[in-house]
Amino acid sequence: MPEGEGLSTAVPVESEKPVGPRSRKGIQTRARLVDAAKEIFKEYGFLDARISDIAERAGLSHGAFYHYFDSKEEIFREVAAGVDEELSEPLSEVILARSSTATPHERIAEAIRLHLEAYRDEAKIMGVIEQVSHYDDEVRARRHARYKHDNAQVAGSIRQLQLRGLADPELDPAIAAVGVGAMTSRFAEMWFAQGFIDCDFEEGVEQLTRLFVNALQLKDKADRTDDGGTRRPDNPR
């Protein structure tokens, strides 16, 4: 994707508690609880996970849990936000990176590889997050906000590619961003969380990259006019 689009995709996590831990020890303890909760949710799912299990896994007392979180729901929402942020990192770190000299095709291929690797590693917890998002309004709202933000970033990059003659000028950038984004996330879910796809990892990366590039009719170089100039799309959006 074009240079100059390196904006962060991080969505701030809002805690229900007005004041979080301020000391280094408090921050580390809270992080231990979140890491422990993530493992417990992966093992038992959301409904069967217990606060006592989380506290024990973190090496803390049951009462210590409530110094940092009000409920199992609250800590799950923090776990879910962290995982979603991790899966969004390739967008800002690869596709929208200001300093990258890679071609659009190379950026997309690398971003897809990193996204699929992350989803594969987080498949169990992603399955739980997908389930909980169907009935937890806050989890669903946070995920919706992140997707909306990421899609806007991708749409902006598609628009810039069109202006540079590197992508199909007839595409609506906003619709295209949602389409390729949904394809990428759903592909990962069906592959790693549901086990619907059975293929070699490298083949999966290559095929999804090919679909993404073909969908945008992506080019690494703009067409040139007879006089050596760059041919611009007739109706860029």
**Alpha carbon separation from 153 to 65, 78, 136, 175, 178 (Å, rounded):** 37, 23, 26, 12, 11
Q: Where are the domains of the chain?
A: 22-69, 73-216
Give 224's strand partners: 230
Task: Report helix, strand and coil shares of the chain as percent, to nearest 5.
Answer: 65, 0, 35
For the whole prediction, is pTM greater than 0.75? yes
Could you tell me which of 12, 14, 16, 22 has the C-alpha nearest to residue 66? 16
Confidence label for 96 from pLDDT (cuts 50, 70 and 90) = confident
For the chain, the residue count is 237
**Once rounded to an integer, what is the mean pLDDT over residues 166-188?**
96
Q: What pLDDT, on the 0 to 100 scale, is given for residue 223?
A: 67
CATH of domain 73-216: 1.10.357.10
Q: Is the pLDDT of residue 9 over 80?
A: no
Q: Which CATH class is domain 22-69?
A: mainly alpha
Q: Is the pLDDT of residue 61 over 80?
A: yes
